[in-house]
Amino acid sequence: GIGDLLLRAVTESLRACLRESDTVARIGGDEFVIIARSVEDEASACGVAEKIRLVLDQPFSIDGHRLAISCSIGIALYPEHGEDDIVLVKHADAAMYEAKKSGKNRVVTA
């Protein structure tokens, strides 16, 4: 349906914002995890996240429908916020929920 087509369009938009070395994965529902291995610092991570936020803020044309979405992005940095994927994802997830709680359509660092 339209929801599946929208998720595919979102995935394509995310991939267009990333480098070859980055990984994007849908972890359920409308939640995605992005692993950006060569991000040098918090400013660089926030720059990538803001680029993604702006791209996803543009309306999508899906099957004759114009759909607007927003996104909430949580960032966790290695090694400041964790030294393994499980801890980093946990902190990024908490930051994402903070972004949602504080008004959605924003970027929050752990």
Residue 104 CA to residue 48 CA, distance in Å, equals 17
Asked about 30 being catalytic, the answer comes back as: yes
Residue 36 CA to residue 49 CA, distance in Å, equals 10
Residue 107 CA to residue 96 CA, distance in Å, equals 8
Active-site hit among 22, 30, 41, 57: 30
Residue 28 DSSP SS3: strand
At what angle are helices 2-17 and 42-56 packed, to 10 degrees? 140
Positions marked catalytic: 30
